[in-house]
Chains A and B, each alone.
Chain A
Amino acid sequence: MATVTFDHVTKAYADGTIAVNELDLLIKDGEFLVLVGPSGCGKTTALRCLAGLEEITAGQIKIDARIVNRVPPKDRNIAMVFQSYALYPHMTVFDNLAFGLKLMKTPKQEIKRRVEEAAKILNLETLLERKPRALSGGQRQRVALGRAIVREPAAFLMDEPLSNLDAKLRVQTRAEILRLQRRLETTTVYVTHDQVEAMTMGDRIAVMNLGVLQQIGTPPELYDNPVNVFVAAFIGSPAMNFATAKADDGKLVLGGTTLHLSGEAAKAAAQNRGRDLLIGFRPEDLVLNGNGRADDVHIPAQIDVVEYLGHEELIHAQSEGHEIVALVPSEQKVQAGQEVKFAIQSNKLHVFDPETELNLTARG
């Protein structure tokens, strides 16, 4: 158990590509931190830097108080779970689990005890004598996890460990990993490109894009208060709607519709009078034919397509030249071609500066 610190960490490759740019992160002891972002955003590189598999170009990485910049991976006391699981194909499950302990010259009895304990936690007891090729994807995944936990390392590093599992197993294993981490209270850095995984698993989430940390916070913080357009668009599924509107005193003009605002949004509009601003609103915040709350903003739209999801339905619609998506309870019967009005609470409206892409309505 340990804290992990990234202090202005930069990783540049020989060809000049900057994979990680000035990354600052403080991961608390026992915390489950998720690094999330689209592919190529530098999240895996950051993790590999922490593992010692990549050398950093500038900055410092600390595990507890120890600077590990030049410490080889084997001496960092961390365990890593790889996307491909990277099990040793010529060893049995038992030997795969015991490998790290053997290298540490752990006594045989102790190895046996710890491997069996890990096998019990992960339900691998009956598979110990098998070779990896005789295991299913889910079982291999559990062996990879087991290999990490037997060593009782200072931190777990996980690089998209669920991406090779099918959807059902992924949901199940997600919960399993969480349960395991809560139980062991080991500091965990988890890399994924899947924002649902990030939202459901992380104590905190760090969103990265193009090598730069965009925002770090708890899942509700990121969902409610994205600092910029990228985070707003990345977090949440289906993704946030965006539209361009002209700012005026306390209102925004979206095509032929005037949106009368209150609160932060009104302030942002007033400060940027005459400018085009980007407004963002989440599909699930839109209410069909909203019944007149005072601070509601109304957006007219024509329905294109309705996707029925069972409990809910996804409405694709055109509004003032923008394509918008709304997620509404499915009892509301609407049809393609129909003209409707969506209502949204003014304080659910995000206003972004189109140049800096920063959120002008972010609270706290």
Chain B
Amino acid sequence: MGGSSRFGRFQGMLFASPALIVLGLFVIYPAYYTIRLAFYQGDFNFHFFHYLGLKNFKDLLTNDPDFLDTSKFHGFNIVKELVYKSDGGALINNVHWVIFYLSFSLIIGLGLAVLAVRVRYERAVKTAIFVPMAISATAVGIIWLFVYSPNPDTGLLNAIIHGFDNGFHPIAWVGRPSLVNYCLIFAYIWASVGFVMVVLSAAIKGIPAEIMEAARVDGAGEWNIFRRIMFPMLSLPISVVTVWLFVNVIKVFDIIYVMTSGGPGTSSRVIAFTMYEETFQNFSNTRGPGYGAAVAVIMLVLVAPVMVLNVRRFRSERVVT
């Protein structure tokens, strides 16, 4: 094999180099730059100005109620946290995003995938559900702004509720700190569910029909086939989709920017939104882009372990199948 000789190795590097150069220029160097910047205050030109050590991180986690306000966080009493949801800062908001966006996207997507393979107009149904995927997040945001509009003449949601209850007073769905996050999450679920459905329904189709038939003859009803055959056999695609959703939700930004700009107040901020605000908007004497870079580093730290797990999982699956 050429790979073992010196020339072979050189040749290999030569072929890999364009990709490596691009990767280095656009991924590795910016990542290094950002991580380094997180230890500085930084200035308008993103220079490494005024070394602060860990101060940015310390401030973020202990001294910035917009990012993390533990005084308003109901701890790990999840029920209480959800019922008395109040402004716990961007990080807590993002935790809500992870919990709701992830679980509902998966459940609805899986449900639709299971149902879609059974309906006669499967392709039409799937296309309809997949369409939001093809719309930009900005457009999704605008569509849902209309849906949530407090004006009952434009706001679909208010109009629907009004249709059932004449005495109902229109609600400013995205104008209430207690509701705004769930409204945003729901809009984003609407936009992502199509992807989950398409991936999982393809995976369902990959399960040999004979296996399902064997289970039916073995005495399994629909529920047992789903629970004991389909679901376990979908575990790999489900985990892939989960990672995709997780990464998606950690970096969610555009829909929030369009719909609420983090408001009302700061109540719908999330990590990525805070990063944008702090890096490009929020300069002051004490805070520079370094503060935003620190937010970016926290984001990286949250995503990295999931990616590592995912890659590892993939590797192990590939070996055995």
Contact = CB atoms under 8 A, between A and B. Distances in A.
Contacts of A51: 213, 217
Interface in B293-321: 320-321
Given A84-B210, A86-B208, A99 B217 contact: no
Contact of B217 (A79, A87, A89, A90): A79
A35 interface: no
A346 B177 CA distance: 101
Select the residue from A86, A103, A133, A151 with max chain B CB neighbours within 10 A.
A86
Given A82-B210, A99-B228, A103-B224, A88 B215 contact: yes
A73 B232 CA distance: 22
Interface string A137-152: 0000000000100010
Contacts of A53: 213, 216-217
B233 A89 contact: yes
Contacts of A84: 208, 210
B219 interface: yes
B214 interface: yes
B163 interface: no
Contacts of A88: 211, 214-215, 228-229
A52 B214 CA distance: 11
A78 interface: yes
Contacts of A74: 216-221
Contacts of B219: 74-75, 100, 103-104, 151
Contacts of A80: 213-214, 217
Interface string B206-246: 00101101111111110010001100110100000000000
A90 B233 contact: yes
B233 A82 contact: no
A72 interface: yes
A4 to B, nearest CB: 15
B228 A73 contact: no
A99 B216 contact: no
Given A74-B221, A89-B233, A133-B321, A82 B216 contact: no
Interface in A61-113: 72-76, 78-80, 82-84, 86-90, 99-100, 103-104
A137 to B, nearest CB: 16
B32 to A, nearest CB: 42
B218 A79 contact: yes
B320 A99 contact: no
B215 A99 contact: yes
B224 A73 contact: no
Given A99-B228, A133-B320, A133-B321, A86 B216 contact: no
A82 B214 contact: yes
A147 B218 contact: yes
Interface in A41-64: 51-53
B317 to A, nearest CB: 11
A76 B219 CA distance: 8
Contacts of A90: 232-233, 235
A72 B216 contact: yes
Nearest to A153: B217
A80 B210 CA distance: 10
B218 A151 contact: yes
Interface string B15-36: 0000000000000000000000
B269 to A, nearest CB: 42
A103 B213 contact: no
Nearest to A79: B217
Nearest to B211: A86
Nearest to B225: A74
B232 A86 contact: no
Contacts of B232: 90
A55 to B, nearest CB: 13
A60 to B, nearest CB: 20
A100 B215 CA distance: 8
A99 B208 contact: no
A86 B214 contact: yes
Interface string A114-129: 0000000000000000
Nearest to A51: B217
Nearest to B228: A99
Interface in B260-293: none
Nearest to A83: B210
Nearest to B210: A86
A121 to B, nearest CB: 19
Nearest to B229: A88
Interface string B179-215: 0000000000000000000000000000010110111
Contacts of A103: 218-220, 224
From B210, B220, B224, B320, residue with most partner A Cβ within 10 Å:
B210
A53 B233 CA distance: 21
Most buried by A among B213, B216, B217, B229: B217
Nearest to B233: A90
A243 B217 CA distance: 47
A147 B213 CA distance: 14
Contacts of A151: 218-219
A53 to B, nearest CB: 5
B223 to A, nearest CB: 11
Given A89-B233, A103-B224, A133-B320, A82 B218 contact: no
6 closest cross-chain pairs (CB), A and B: A86-B214, A86-B210, A100-B218, A103-B219, A73-B216, A74-B219
22 contacts: A51-B213, A53-B217, A72-B221, A74-B217, A74-B219, A74-B220, A78-B217, A80-B214, A80-B217, A86-B210, A87-B214, A88-B214, A88-B228, A88-B229, A89-B211, A90-B232, A90-B233, A99-B220, A100-B218, A103-B219, A133-B320, A151-B219
Given A73-B213, A89-B211, A104-B219, 8 more contacts: A74-B217, A75-B219, A80-B217, A84-B208, A88-B211, A90-B235, A100-B219, A133-B320
Interface of A: 51-53, 72-76, 78-80, 82-84, 86-90, 99-100, 103-104, 133, 147, 151, 157
